[in-house]
Structure 1
């Protein structure tokens, strides 16, 4: 299964989510590959830092920031149970190619009206992709949610009947994610990361229920 984390807006946490989802599936014993399709290469940087720290390689990360990745990815993905694609912001050609390659598109957004407006461009691109891939599934995910904030509840309520649908899982704004990113680790590998780890495990389980 190829899951693509996509949003044309930067700063919504795509790379963090991609790496942590990959980690959750790898811990379950699945063969997982992360594809870094962002020219900035943050997932590759994380993987290199993990190597420098002498940590166990949970999954490989490969760079494929090209707008024809949908033609190359099937061969690269062969032999893996889960492929997680970390897409770029503001590079429409690569995002479109990622949609053509994916089985599931996950659109992360922060609970903010500004993120809602930015996601509108992604939805237009999704409609275009479904002309060629009518079976393409997509979901939205509220990420970086501050605990018990009114805006998070209001955003979730406003998107309850949205298409694509909103996942039930919510990922919090947690220091553990930032600490993990700097050190080539996952949240469960840093002090105080247990709540963040549980949120990711719940998210991975919800995605598993969506896909055959």
Structure 2
């Protein structure tokens, strides 16, 4: 399965979601490659920090920030169980290529009406991609949120009326994710029973229920 984590809005936590999904699948003994398609290279930086910390590699990270992803990602997928694409913000040609490669696209949004409005262009790109890939599945993921806050609930209710729908699983705004990013680790490696680790496990399980 090829999963693309995309949103034209920056700062919504795409790399956090992409890295931790890849890590959760790897923890389940799946063969995983993460494609860093963001010119900022956040996932590659995380991988390099992991090497500096002397930590073993748990999944491959490759940099492919170019608009040939729709050709290259399926080739990589032949030798692994899952490919995760950490997409770029505001680069339409790269996003189109990632969408044409993907079986599932996840759109992380923060609990704010502004994030919902900013996703309009992303939804237009998905509609365009479905002309060529009508089987493409898409879901919103509420990220960096407090699940019990009013704004999170309102955002979830707003997105519930959208196509694509929003996942029930949410990912919180937690210090553990920032600590993991700085140290080249995953939250499950820091504390496998932490709320952050449980949120990733729940998100992964929900993806499994709709996976093609």
Aligned length: 212
Task: List gaps (5 residues or longer) in structure 1.
Answer: none
Structure 1 Cα separation of the partners of residues 193 and 53 of structure 2: 18
SS of equivalent residue, structure 1 residue 140: strand
8 Å CA contact 1:176, 1:192 repeated in 2: no
Deviation at 1:100, TM superposition (A): 0.1
Partner secondary structure for residue 160 of structure 2 = coil
Residue of structure 1 in register with 2:201 after alignment: 201
- The answer to whether residue 142 in structure 2 is matched with residue 139 in structure 1 is no
Unaligned runs of 5+ in 2: none
Task: Give the superposition deviation at 1:193.
Answer: 7.1
Q: Aligned-pair distance for 1:143?
A: 0.5
Taking structure 1 as the reference length, the TM-score comes to 0.97
Give 3-state SS (helix, strand or coil) of 2:33's partner. strand
Q: Distance in 2 between matches of 1:76 and 1:22?
A: 14
Name 1:65's counterpart in structure 2: 65
**Other-structure match for 1:184:** 184
Q: Which moved more, 1:64-73 or 1:92-101?
A: 64-73
TM-superposed deviation, 1:192:
9.0
Give the TM-score taking structure 2 as reference length: 0.97
- Asked if the contact 2:6/2:88 (under 8 Å) is kept, the reply is yes
Residue by residue over 1:59-83, the C-alpha shift from the partner in whole angstroms, topping out at 9 and shown as x without a partner, is 0100110011111222222211011
Equivalent residue for 1:46? Answer: 46
The alignment's C-alpha RMSD in Å is: 1.2
Task: Specify the alignment match of 1:74 in structure 2.
Answer: 74
